[in-house]
Amino acid sequence: MAQHFWLHSKSVSLTGANIANFSDEEARYFLARMRWGDDGTQVCPKCGVVDRHHDIKSRCQWSCKHCGRRFSVTTGTPFADFKIGYPRLLLAIFAFVVNQKGIAALALRRLIGGQYRTSYTLLQKIREAVMLTMPREPLSGVVEVDGGHFAGKRRKGRKLKEEKGPAEIPMKYRKPQHRTKVSNSAFPHHPNRRIVLVLREVFPAGAGKGAARTRVAVIRNENTADIEALVKRYVAKRSTIRSDELPAYGNLKLLGYFHESVNHSVEFSTDDGVNQNQAESYFSRLRRAFIGVYHKITPRYMLDYASEMAWREDVRRRDTLTQMGLLFRRVCESGLSTDWLNYCRGNKRLSELLFVAEAASA
């Protein structure tokens, strides 16, 4: 049997020990190479000219040869206002990449030091950038579509306590009974429950293992309008959609797609090999991150976490250095953060990013 990718020496192209030995200057050039490539040129954020601009080493900046604008390797990116130094920023990106089920802000803080809120906003800005730069070009070939329920978990034993004790003692001073378990079906809809809908393009036979590209969205429930709008947005016509047998997927043939379904209450894979293993693989990673790392995720930031895990799935077989480069370029592309800029001064996202079909088509 072939060796697993992550056991291969090529997969570990950079280690934390390498980064720990970086000077400020080395870390700065390392980030510059990840952002602008290996040829020693930089892109001026003001006039956009690509050149070997004047290097002002004492200020860790470049000065544009054409317009004179001074800029650093993080100018115009969500990292612009971080004052933690380039070696620690590099270490934070490294830690984000190598913790494949996500990394908690408290754990990152133990690695890079500083205040908790620095680590927290740094991670949130990376997630936001990944979410904002999710590619829009359509998936094609065989695409698995599935929804997973997240957040809003009901506590077990949620039956209201029945007070015990003599009737002459007022109710609020009586001892509560043990709470009795009530089945989940008694409370089907918790207000915080959301569906993460995932669309994953499966590699054609021989081209690779598993899924190639992933798109995600957060919806209120698996309804026809939202699912059809998302399929139209993210999947090219005449592709094959694989889903379960929910009625919401029933009309996809009318929209110009081929449709294969698998009845999960009977089998996980049909005799013809129709299954949703790649969608399940994504949910597995997201669920483990929810349970094992982040513990609680609210609807307001659910799309950020879902996008983070989609990115992790898509780069799962790239070596560490490549992953860091891909991530840093995505973060640079996203521009200045909107929801996390000045977070410490009270700025924050005001509502959740829920996909609604009518709003999307309007």
Shortest separation between residue 60's beta carbon and Zn ion, angstroms: 18
Closer Cβ to Zn ion, 64 or 324, answer by number: 64
Closer Cβ to Zn ion, 64 or 131, answer by number: 64
Shortest separation between residue 294's beta carbon and Zn ion, angstroms: 41
Q: Under rule CB under 5 A, which residues in 39-58 are in contact with Zn ion?
A: 44, 46-47
> Does 255 sit near Zn ion (CB under 5 A)?
no
Closer Cβ to Zn ion, 64 or 286, answer by number: 64
Q: Under rule CB under 5 A, which residues in 317-356 are in contact with Zn ion?
A: none
Closer Cβ to Zn ion, 48 or 152, answer by number: 48
Shortest separation between residue 42's beta carbon and Zn ion, angstroms: 10
Residue by residue, what is the 3-state secondary structure of the chain? Answer: CCCCHHHCHHHCCCCHHHHHCCCHHHHHHHHHHHHHCCCCCEECCCCCCEECCEEEHHHCEEECCCCCCEECCCCCCCCCCCCCCHHHHHHHHHHHHHCCCCCCHHHHHHHHCCCHHHHHHHHHHHHHHHHHCCCCCCECCEEEEEEEEECCCCCCCCCCCCEECCCCCCHHHCEECCCCCCCHHHCCCCCCCEEEEEEEEECCCCCCCCEEEEEEEEECCCCHHHHHHHHHHHECCCCEEEEECCHHHCCHHHHCCEEEEECCCCCCECCCCCECHHHHHHHHHHHHHHHHHHCCCCHHHHHHHHHHHHHHHHCCCCCHHHHHHHHHHHHHHCCCCCCCCCHHHCCCCCCCCCCCHHHHHC
Shortest separation between residue 329's beta carbon and Zn ion, angstroms: 20
Closer Cβ to Zn ion, 74 or 337, answer by number: 74
Number of residues that bind Zn ion (CB under 5 A): 7
Shortest separation between residue 59's beta carbon and Zn ion, angstroms: 16
Shortest separation between residue 122's beta carbon and Zn ion, angstroms: 28
Q: Under rule CB under 5 A, which residues in 58-87 are in contact with Zn ion?
A: 64, 66-67, 69
Closer Cβ to Zn ion, 20 or 47, answer by number: 47
Q: Footprint of Zn ion on this chain (CB under 5 A)? A: 44, 46-47, 64, 66-67, 69
